[in-house]
């Protein structure tokens, strides 16, 4: 009988396998998807009216899959890192950057920033951008309105020593009975591919920072995803 692999060796092998999967996701699969998207764009002048509808489906599906590879990459990096050092991160800088990047990626959506983001320093690390990127994308991807509208605001509660970011949309909303489970690992509470893993990553990161994330109803329609993060000392 072969000797059983000791726990330390098994853990190392699992980490090596995850690192390999991460590399494949970051390079091979992502490059192939981007190639599909590029060739789809070249076909625009070579299809008839019926073909344009099919081509649009290809483009949208490719963009969604590319976004999913980014989320999987980020989740793998979270799982692979050891004793990540958290420090003070400028909330306004990270949040502004992600709003601009997602706005550029979804030209059909209307993004509104309510006031100026506070110049607050929160407890986080360089993965904080992934939190806001996933929530902003969700607000557009799972929206059934034309155009999708996303309102972003942030404020500081000095008494509680926290900063709170709110991302509101005009979509279908999230039923009260599903508002907690959509953050679960592998859940598809938003009824769309990739929603579960993205929100699972969001909660995993925010809880690592000592913060909290939740969803509530928006008025008159839609959902509001809120992220609360502790302020960094100093």
pLDDT tens digits for range 105-158: 898 999 999 999 999 999 999 899 999 999 999 999 889 999 999 999 999 999
Q: CATH number of the domain at 87-230, please?
A: 3.30.565.10
Q: Residue 151, SS3?
A: strand
Residue 2: what pLDDT? 45
- The pTM of this model reads 0.76
CA angle 140, 164, 180 (to 5 degrees): 60
Closest to 179 (Cα-Cα) out of 139, 225, 137, 221: 225
pLDDT tens digits for range 71-107: 777 777 777 776 667 789 999 999 999 999 999 989 8
Report d(CA 210, CA 174) in Å as an integer. 25
């Amino acid at each position: 009988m072969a000797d059983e692999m000791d726990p330390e060796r098994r853990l190392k092998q699992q980490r090596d396998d995850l690192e390999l999967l991460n590399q494949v996701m970051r390079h091979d699969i992502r490059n192939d998807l981007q190639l599909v998207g590029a060739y789809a764009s070249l076909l625009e002048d070579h299809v008839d009216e019926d073909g344009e509808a099919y081509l649009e489906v290809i483009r949208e599906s490719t963009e969604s899959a590319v976004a999913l590879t980014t989320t999987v990459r980020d989740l793998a990096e979270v799982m692979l890192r050891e004793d990540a050092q958290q420090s003070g991160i400028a909330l306004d800088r990270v949040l502004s950057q992600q709003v601009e990047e997602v706005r550029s990626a979804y030209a059909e959506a209307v993004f509104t920033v309510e006031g100026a983001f506070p110049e607050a320093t929160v407890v986080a690390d360089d993965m904080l951008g992934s939190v806001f990127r996933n929530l902003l994308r969700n607000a557009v991807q799972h929206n059934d309105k034309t155009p999708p509208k996303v309102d972003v605001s942030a404020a500081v509660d000095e008494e509680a020593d926290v900063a709170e970011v709110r991302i509101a949309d005009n979509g279908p909303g999230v039923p009260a009975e599903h508002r907690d489970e959509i953050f679960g690992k592998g859940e598809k509470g938003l009824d769309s591919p990739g929603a579960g893993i993205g929100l699972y990553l969001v909660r995993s990161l925010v809880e690592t920072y000592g913060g909290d994330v939740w969803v509530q109803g928006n008025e008159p329609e839609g959902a509001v995803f809120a992220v609360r993060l502790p302020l960094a000392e100093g």
